[in-house]
Amino acid sequence: MGDIRREKNDFFIKRKAMKRRYYSEILSMLETHKFKEVASKYYDLAIKLTKRKDLRTGALLILLQGLCLLKEEESYTLVKKNIDEFLNSLGVNKKLVKDTFSIMVILFIIDIKVYTLDKYFPKIKGMLEILPLFEEEKQLLDI
């Protein structure tokens, strides 16, 4: 987790540079709380960026997509299915992306919710707070 903290600023600078091109529509939709539509946009953008070999950003977007769906109170199996579909679309990069911090966190959140292990939510909150998120995305951390 130390690496994630150290790389947060560099990763955020990279995301900030892409903000107008990729994120402006998503962020405006987040302000109006259209989480289901935002989840779809995050998924599409994740596919697009992973095709351009930006695997780390793609994994982060899948985490954000999962958080949007959880915020909409979608079923955990649907969220897990979307993650699996994304990972299966990656081919040889599947294992590499599956082991990223973002994917591991969303899978952990799903497990906590499925098994109602609420005592772990404060730890999850701490993990999520080190992610390089825009202000508009920080509302997704309240799951």
Give residue-wise pLDDT tens across range 102-137.
999 999 999 998 988 888 888 888 888 899 999 999
In a domain, 137, yes or no: no
Q: What is the rounded CA–CA span in Å between residue 60 and residue 44?
A: 13
In a domain, 141, yes or no: no
In a domain, 138, yes or no: no
- Structural domain boundaries enclosing 29: 2-130
Q: What is the rounded CA–CA span in Å between residue 109 and residue 105?
A: 6
In a domain, 142, yes or no: no
In a domain, 139, yes or no: no
In a domain, 19, yes or no: yes
What b-and-e string marks burial along 88-116, b requiring 16 or more CB atoms within 10 Å of the CB? eebeeeeeebbebbbbebbbebbebbeee
Give residue-wise pLDDT tens across range 75-99.
999 999 999 999 999 999 999 999 9
Structure-token pair, residue 1: 């987790």
In a domain, 78, yes or no: yes
Give residue-wise pLDDT tens across range 21-57.
999 999 999 999 999 999 999 999 999 999 999 999 9
In a domain, 102, yes or no: yes
Structure-token pair, residue 10: 């560099």
Domain count, the chain: 1
Q: Which amino acid is at 76?
A: Y
Q: Summarize the chain as % helix, strand, coil (round to 5).
A: 80, 0, 20
